[in-house]
């Protein structure tokens, strides 16, 4: 258990330095001192406890963080990049796990330090699932297609759907994608659904078709069922 | 990316015809929308009117009745509860034919609301200014996803008075040429857009701004590889028009610093 804090500018710079150092020396130890050092982190206006734990999935992490950041007095903290940087470092072992040889691979800084670009928030490994969960908090199961999977990975479904504001804000679009491509019995996306060849009925064809629907229909007034019913026959194998 | 065709003749509503104002000082703002000018777009009186607010994954939708009978929801139902603590919210206005499976008849997207501290003059700015936590960066440009939206000049939230900063001679001289160059490069080289005819498209509005600056009124080139000379001409004329170097020197001489 620890008190949630935020990294200040110096702390964020230290974290960027650590991520850069990992590129060169993948065995660099995590600088956990910056989480509590007064020169690199700041106290929040409200006392919030966070558990030192493993989540196992984007959904579990998002639900846990939503519980904390929706506490009384915590309003607005989820917009603070310093809070997300602190959380990323606190949970770094799960966000950037060690490989068998003891080294880590960073991939991109935006996964740990939230991008200032409004459309790239989804790349942050904690803020991304958190914001999706928050948008679907009344029934998060409808967004399983973008909330499943391990915390250290950004799936094709997240990259294709959450990167488009028009899609991710439209609950019917995300719910329809979950209905089409999420396999409830395995708890994973259906095999082949993320095919990169734009094969009939696959995720990328879904994105193409929704893009074509958008200038014509008010998709926000439709239910997921109405949206699926509007799709061409190529989607029937996934709809069943 | 597949090109999107407007087969059904959906009309584009100009943002200035549907002004939206944020109201309040608390973390949860409300808004007012003036939709009276919608009628000039010749859409059926029975068509439904919706105002949508959005930011990142958050979204809210407000029912404003019909074109023939606009019905503004009461204040308590216009609270932007999903966007607590943010003034970076954008809006869409939609005119929907409810009788045809929700066919979209007209739309304005990427509407920048006037924030409580903005004046009427600021509202239609080509480059709205917003505050954001940018770490150690003083400013940045955020490019929009939608062509009906607009780029935004982000100023670090740590800067006390963003309006004063962006109008200061130092910032004008050092940052504005870079800003103009970056935006025109995005349009002509990255987005490869040289069309000037769409009143609702931010690319067109910026290209017209550039063309109108030039004494020759030369249109931008159609090919990205020819864009550099045109962009540099626009930036040079912009600097000359606003006498950026002269003002910069005056401040430097008066204060010994580039305030």
How many separate domains does chain A show?
1
Confidence of residue B184 (pLDDT cuts 50, 70, 90): very high
Query: Tokens 């992490």 — which residue?
Result: A61
- Mean per-residue pLDDT, B94-114: 87
* Structure tokens given for A61: 């992490």
Position B2 pLDDT exceeds 60: no
A116/B134 touch (CB, cutoff 8 Å), yes or no: yes
Radius of gyration over every alpha carbon of chain B, rounded to an integer in angstroms: 20
Is A200 domain-assigned?
yes
**Residue A227 belongs to what domain range?**
155-240
Q: Domain for residue A117, yes or no? A: no
Nearest CB to B56; choose among A82, A121, A219: A121
* pLDDT tens profile B106-164: 999 888 888 766 655 555 678 888 888 788 889 999 888 777 778 989 998 888 788 78
* Residue A180: predicted pLDDT: 97
Q: Find all residues with CB under 8 Å of A149, minimum gap 6, and list them.
A: A57, A58, A155, A158, A188
Label residue B84 by pLDDT band (50, 70, 90): confident
Count the Cβ atoms, other than its own, within 10 Å of residue B117.
Answer: 11
Specify the pLDDT at position A195: 87
Partner residue opposite A217 with nearest CB, options B104, B137, B142:
B104
List the single residue in B4, B27, B101 with the smallest CB-CB distance to A211. Answer: B4
At A54, is the pLDDT very low, low, confident or very high (cuts 50, 70, 90)? very high
Instruction: Say which range, A9-13, A171-175, B5-9, B102-106, has the weakest mean pLDDT.
Output: B5-9
- Range name among A43-47, A232-236, B53-57 with the lowest pLDDT average: B53-57
Sign of CA dihedral B71, B77, B83, B88: positive
CB contact under 8 A, B102 and A117: no
DSSP-derived letter for residue B53 is E
From chain A, the residues in CB contact with B142 under 8 A are 116-118
- pLDDT band at residue A118 using 50, 70 and 90 as cut-offs: low
Distance from CA of B103 to the nearest CA of A (A): 5
CATH no. for B1-123:
2.60.40
In a domain, A113, yes or no: no
Q: Where are the extended beta strands (E) located within A5-154?
A: 5-7, 41-43, 49-50
Q: Which residues pair with B13 in a beta bridge?
A: none
Whether this model's pTM surpasses 0.90: no
**ipTM field:** 0.81
Would residue A85 count as lying in a domain?
no
pLDDT of residue B1: 43
A116 shares contact with chain B (CB less than 8 Å) = yes
A128 lies in some domain: no
Residues in chain A with CB shorter than 8 Å from the CB of B109 are none
Examine the pLDDT at B94 and tell me if it is beyond 50: yes
pLDDT > 90 in chain A, percent: 77
Q: How confident is the model at residue B236 (pLDDT cuts 50, 70, 90)?
A: very high
pLDDT of residue B28: 85
Interface membership of A19 toward B (CB under 8 Å): no
Q: Which of B27, B133, B145 minimises the CB distance to A81?
A: B133
Segments making up each domain of chain B, as ranges: 1-123, 125-259
Q: What is the pLDDT of residue A58?
A: 97
Chain B residue with minimum CA distance to A219: B102
Partner B contacted by A82 (CB < 8 A): yes
On whether the CB atoms of residues A127 and A84 are closer than 8 A, the answer is yes
> With contact defined as beta carbons under 8 Å apart, do A146 and A169 qualify?
no
pLDDT score of B169 more than 90: no
Query: Average pLDDT for residues B13-17, to the nearest whole number?
Result: 87
Neighbours of B225 (CB within 10 A): 8
pLDDT, residue B5, reads 58
Q: CB B136 to CB A9 under 8 A?
A: yes
């Amino acid at each position: 258990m620890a008190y949630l804090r935020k990294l200040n500018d110096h702390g964020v710079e230290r974290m960027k330095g650590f991520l850069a150092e990992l590129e060169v020396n993948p065995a660099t130890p995590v600088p956990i001192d910056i989480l509590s050092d007064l020169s690199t982190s700041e106290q929040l206006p409200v006392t919030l406890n966070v558990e030192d734990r493993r989540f196992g999935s984007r959904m579990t992490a998002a639900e846990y963080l939503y519980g904390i950041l929706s506490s009384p007095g915590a309003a607005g903290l989820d917009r603070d990049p310093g809070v997300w940087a602190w959380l990323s470092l606190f949970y770094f072992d799960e966000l950037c796990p060690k490989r068998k040889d003891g080294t880590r691979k960073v991939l991109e800084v935006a996964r740990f330090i939230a991008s200032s670009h409004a459309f790239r928030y989804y790349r942050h490994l904690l803020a991304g699932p958190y914001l999706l969960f928050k948008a679907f908090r009344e029934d998060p199961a409808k967004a399983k297609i973008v909330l499943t999977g391990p915390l250290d990975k950004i799936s094709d479904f997240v990259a294709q759907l959450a990167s488009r504001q028009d899609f991710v804000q439209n609950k019917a679009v995300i719910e329809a994608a979950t209905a089409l491509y999420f396999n409830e019995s395995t708890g994973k996306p259906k095999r082949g659904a993320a095919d990169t060849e734009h094969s009939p009925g696959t995720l990328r064809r879904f994105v193409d078709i929704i893009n074509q629907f958008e200038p014509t229909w008010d998709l926000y007034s439709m239910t997921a069922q109405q949206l699926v019913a509007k799709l061409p026959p190529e989607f029937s194998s996934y709809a069943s | 990316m597949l090109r999107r065709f407007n087969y059904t003749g959906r009309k584009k509503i100009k943002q200035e015809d549907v002004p939206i104002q944020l109201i309040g000082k608390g973390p949860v703002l409300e808004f007012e929308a003036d939709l009276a000018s919608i009628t000039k777009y010749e859409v059926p009186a029975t068509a439904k009117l919706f105002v949508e607010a959005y930011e990142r994954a958050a979204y809210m939708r407000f029912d404003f009745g019909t074109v023939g009978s606009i019905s503004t929801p009461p204040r308590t139902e216009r609270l932007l509860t999903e966007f607590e603590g943010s003034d970076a919210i954008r809006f869409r206005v939609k005119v929907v034919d409810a009788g045809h499976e929700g066919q979209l008849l007209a739309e304005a997207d990427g509407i920048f609301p006037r924030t409580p501290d903005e004046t009427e003059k600021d509202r239609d700015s080509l480059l709205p200014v917003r505050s954001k936590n940018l770490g150690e960066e003083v400013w940045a440009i955020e490019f929009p996803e939608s062509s009906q939206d607009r780029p935004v000049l982000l100023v670090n939230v740590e800067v006390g008075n963003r309006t004063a900063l962006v109008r200061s001679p130092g910032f004008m001289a050092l940052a504005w040429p870079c800003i103009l160059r970056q935006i025109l490069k995005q349009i002509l080289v990255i987005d490869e857009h040289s069309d000037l005819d769409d009143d609702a498209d931010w690319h067109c509005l910026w290209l017209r701004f550039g063309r109108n600056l030039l004494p020759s009124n030369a249109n931008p080139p159609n090919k990205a590889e020819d864009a550099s000379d045109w962009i540099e001409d626009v930036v040079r004329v912009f600097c000359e028009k606003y006498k950026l170097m002269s003002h910069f020197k005056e401040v430097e001489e008066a204060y010994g610093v580039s305030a």
